[in-house]
Chains A and B, each alone.
Chain A
């Protein structure tokens, strides 16, 4: 079942990137045209994604691969390629659809901005780079797109470049992810050294296929952990999560794109893509590298959920919830629930984009106010935003049956409960579910219920160009639950290749009761705690020290400031001193030797070589003057000379014979 699109998957990322280049080339003048081009590019990507999705439905375990040689370097032949399999196809569809909603929303949100067309160029570039990550069939090509994603995120987080905080956040995001990428790159090198290929699938010889995996041998754990470093950086896992909340400095559609469809999804996707490297040699589904993944995910998930409770910035709360959900996905991947993790990633893409765009709508309606303490009572003023936001909130909290997040979260809890190594991650994940419901309830109460506070007096509902994407995403977040239920696990079977059977009995399982109880507990605790919340947070009253600890993000930024950054500052100062006093002096001394040599050669030049040249030129000059006297220009002189010469020849002839 190969159609033209399965043989030309590269067209999907190419469409938005081409749109981006087009806008950058011509977009300065035409604002409306820039948005139109970006959206057309995204629609093209979405259409092609749908066409690419269709053939993957027909057969289980579908995989279309096109490899080609990039360049030949001596004996080494470097090959890259593109792949289309269920994982890629599902991701493509999610990224293109969520991206399209965000693009449309941006028309309204960024309408006033003076760099409107540049914004759309970057958005298209971002989306295209992420689509490239998904379809890459080579770790090297994936890394290239991965870095392009990083570049695009840098440009977009720092989009409001006149704000120093935005510039700092962009720098922080770029450098923090770069630390992870260094590990990733080392992992790529080690993998290439061991297996001799970076192609994922290559007719049995790719690095994810058994022959190459056995060639890697004992260093497979190291390779997996180094690659995981990259995923940690991009997906904001502890200890490299610090850039994600700061990335809120970018415009809200960018936050939505980063948090839902593109940037952070890349890390989880990477782990899922190279899962065979993590799981090779598994005993009972456990390998050292997967254990690391589980624990990092658990720490991240719980820590971020705790911090989210004590934040007041509407976008920061969502940012920490993203970190927490990504932690949960990592736990799922590490505990063996690959399909569950990816399903949560897909569902999360929809409802987190919905939440961020909802937050953007609130911020837009309140004239760029982000502090939830100044909001309140918005459910009457912004009904569409409120309803769609509530859908997103319930999906994120994991309310079962009708919301996609509920089923995927339940699948994850299922996977963790079956992890043989330890039950602690399972219990910590359960606590994370309660905390998620709690902080989302807190946010909803602060923003949409209660009394109208300072900023909500002049609030207004957003225009339809912003409301329609919200509605589309809300419908997706609900509708997706149809294909996620355990009674008919269509998406899971699509991803794993096992056939799905309809079984209504599976709809009610112990785990669903547990998660229903947990979500109920979280929501009711939240309602009880924050029912009379005012300018001050009730938790702040009860536990000021704990609250301050959480509000300041567990002082992790400060710890980094005191340790890593201080150390590098000391090193920088040391090397500055070395530069000024040691290397500079050395360079100056060497320079002085050069100067001395220069002087010697100058004098040699002037006294020896120049003198000789001068002498010979003046000789030639004198000779020339002498000769020029003979050339008087008088034709009769010449004629006379000829006659005299002839006479001399005649006399010579006569004399000789």
Chain B
């Protein structure tokens, strides 16, 4: 297992997440896509830490754990918003949610 392989995996994960976020119409799938992009970023952190100059200290791992915690909070907020949006509009199709247009 070398650094380039990990980077390729993480960029692949990122691209899948981006594709999901951009192309799915359901708000929950978009949230899932965003979570996948976050996971790719975390994987990058871990990879660069593991193959970096000071792998003995657990700095990269700490950052990744923080990011996962924040992502969990963010997912909770996002899911709550989706529920509120659904109650309000009776839909989670983001094509129809365009009230903020100029």
Contact = CB atoms under 8 A, between A and B. Distances in A.
Interface in A607-657: 627-636, 639-640, 643
Contacts of B72: none
A489 to B, nearest CB: 106
Contact of A640 (B22, B99, B101): B22
A636 to B, nearest CB: 6
Contact of A634 (B18, B21, B23, B95): B95
B73 interface: no
B22 A631 contact: no
Contact of B94 (A627, A629, A634): A634
A633 B101 contact: yes
Contacts of A643: 18, 22
A631 B95 CA distance: 13
Interface string B79-102: 000000000000000110111111
Interface in A142-199: none
A632 B22 contact: no
A interface majority secondary structure: helix
B40 interface: no
B30 A631 contact: no
A89 B22 CA distance: 105
Contacts of A631: 100-102
A135 to B, nearest CB: 81
Contact of A633 (B18, B23, B30, B97): B97
A632 B96 CA distance: 11
Nearest to B100: A633
Contacts of B97: 633, 635
B102 A636 contact: no
B98 A639 contact: no
A390 B49 CA distance: 132
Nearest to B37: A643
A619 to B, nearest CB: 18
Contacts of B101: 628, 631-634
Nearest to B18: A643
A479 B37 CA distance: 121
Given A635-B94, A636-B94, A630 B102 contact: yes
A22 B99 CA distance: 67
Contacts of A634: 94-95, 98, 101
Interface in A73-102: none
A558 to B, nearest CB: 91
A186 B95 CA distance: 92
Contacts of A635: 30, 94, 97
A627 B22 contact: no
B102 A627 contact: yes
A639 B95 contact: no
Contacts of A630: 102
Interface string B53-97: 000000000000000000000000000000000000000001101
Contacts of A639: 21-22, 30
Contacts of A629: 102
Nearest to A635: B94
A632 B99 CA distance: 9
Contacts of A640: 22
A633 B101 CA distance: 4
Nearest to A636: B22
A643 to B, nearest CB: 6
Contacts of B100: 631, 633
A635 B25 CA distance: 10
Contact of B98 (A627, A628, A633): A633
Nearest to A630: B102
A288 B56 CA distance: 126
B80 to A, nearest CB: 17
B96 to A, nearest CB: 10
Nearest to B21: A639
Given A631-B100, A643-B22, 17 more contacts: A628-B101, A628-B102, A629-B102, A630-B102, A632-B101, A633-B98, A633-B101, A633-B102, A634-B94, A634-B98, A635-B97, A636-B21, A636-B22, A636-B23, A636-B94, A639-B21, A639-B30
Interface of B: 18, 21-23, 30, 94-95, 97-102
Closest CB pairs A-B (n = 9): A633-B98, A633-B101, A631-B102, A628-B102, A633-B100, A631-B101, A635-B94, A632-B101, A640-B22
28 contacts: A628-B101, A628-B102, A629-B102, A630-B102, A631-B100, A631-B101, A631-B102, A632-B98, A632-B101, A633-B97, A633-B99, A633-B100, A633-B101, A633-B102, A634-B94, A634-B95, A634-B101, A635-B30, A635-B94, A636-B21, A636-B23, A636-B30, A636-B94, A639-B21, A639-B22, A639-B30, A643-B18, A643-B22
